[in-house]
Structure 1
Amino acid sequence: MPRRKTDIEPAEDETALVLRARRGDSVAFGEIVRRYQRAVYRVAYGYTRNTADADDLAQETFVNAYRAISRFRISEPMFPWLARIATNLAFSLHRRRKRRPESSIEPLLEAGKQWGVDDDPARHAENRERESHLAEAFGELSSEHQAVLLLRVMEGLTYDEIARALGVPAGTVMSRLARARTDLRARLAKRTGESK
């Protein structure tokens, strides 16, 4: 059966999809959305910690991406560009609401693997208390520090990808990440009474 020109090839590369989307091919842009919707949603949820806001933010990210697809650099990977759009929208939402965006710390907990599931109720209670301390400490970090931690830990982006997503030099990403980790450790130590 012959293929329609709007059918997506099984492993059609990103460049071809972007070029087709630039020509107004909605099927191609739909494939871009399909490929990245979960990752964009995770970034959005990390900032909003609210499913409705995350849905809205993710949708707005793709609307903005569609409008700006002609400015996307084909030589660059797509996800950092989408993450930057989502991050900018999250910061705008934060400014509109005049409050710090809440961020999900579940990926940080999973990445740490420090507090596994345990059948011992006492340990389970201790783990929940540590998670609570971590969530509170993480919520007190600046938006810049939350952003680099979320993109590094939750999405596993490289320093260069985070730099592109946030529109800052890679050196800035590295220093923010180091400061964010130090600040988070200090805030945790203060809460738990443990020394650094």
Structure 2
Amino acid sequence: MNDIARTVIEEVSRNYENELIKKVQKNRDKEAFYHLVRLYDARIYSVVYRFLHNREDSLELTQDVFLQAFRKIKQYRWESPFYFWVQRIAVNYAINRMKKYGKDILSRAQDCDGVQSAAAYVNSPEQALEGEEKKKFVAGALARISAPYRMAVILKDIEGFSYEEIAELTKTGMGTVKSRINRGREELREIFASMKEEVKEYGM
């Protein structure tokens, strides 16, 4: 696909999404919101799953996130892409759920080798198969990091939040945020160092 075609497709997709949002904001249009959910449900599930590592909990929380998005959609101000707005809701919900479970979150986390990852939340078989093993490997490595460090690494290195945003989301100081990210990255490096063959296999 050339750049012109890609630009046209992106523009059409953006216009389609904007029309859906306007319908929901104006008329609480449930059908329009259903189509919005279908655009982003897999990505939001992926966000939540990286925190909880439990399929049932992640599915439940993903539904809660979109219910909250529907209730609060008039608060969406168009200052950033709609996905980022929903993503922030998802992160807040996931953080609160982790705090609720506390140490029990480890016992609730499922074996990543036996759990469908985010790709399995997508209807397309091609999407479900693409990178599945690599996702399981990364999820398994993340699951071995202690919860506060895992949360910080996911927010910074996977979800792309700034240090300031992470401090706001987690209600912790900047120094604590940076320390947790550094410790989490170090733990990941140690895990990857102990799994050299797998790292090489997945091209990481």
Do these two structures clear the TM 0.5 threshold for a shared fold by scoring above it?
yes
Match of 1:44 in 2: 48
Deviations 1:75-108 (A, max 9, x none): 211222222212222222223323346496988x
Match of 1:17 in 2: 20
What letter matches 1:141 in structure 2? S
* Residues 56 and 69 of structure 1: CA distance in aligned 2, closer, same or farther (over 3 Å): same
Paired residues in the alignment total 157
Task: State which structure, 1 or 2, has the greater radius of gyration over its C-alpha atoms.
Answer: 1
Q: Any conservation in 1 of the 2:52–2:94 contact (CA below 8 Å)?
A: yes
Matched, 1:90 2:114: no
What letter matches 2:64 in structure 1? E
* Residues 54 and 13 of structure 1: CA distance in aligned 2, closer, same or farther (over 3 Å): same
CA distance in 1, matches of 2:156, 2:100: 26
Match of 2:31 in 1: 27
In proportion to residue count, which structure has more helix? 2
CA distance in 2, matches of 1:85, 1:159: 13
* Residues 57 and 74 of structure 1: CA distance in aligned 2, closer, same or farther (over 3 Å): same
TM (normalized to structure 1)? Answer: 0.59
CA distance in 1, matches of 2:144, 2:88: 21
Give the aligned CA root-mean-square deviation in angstroms.
Answer: 4.1
Unmatched tracts of structure 1, length 5 or more:
1-9, 112-130
Matched, 1:79 2:97: no
Q: Any conservation in 2 of the 1:43–1:83 contact (CA below 8 Å)?
A: yes
Match of 1:139 in 2: 144
What letter matches 1:80 in structure 2? F
Q: What percent of counterpart residues are identical?
A: 22
Deviations 1:107-143 (A, max 9, x none): 8x838xxxxxxxxxxxxxxxxxxx69x9467433333
Deviation at 1:19, TM superposition (A): 2.0
Deviation at 1:25, TM superposition (A): 1.4
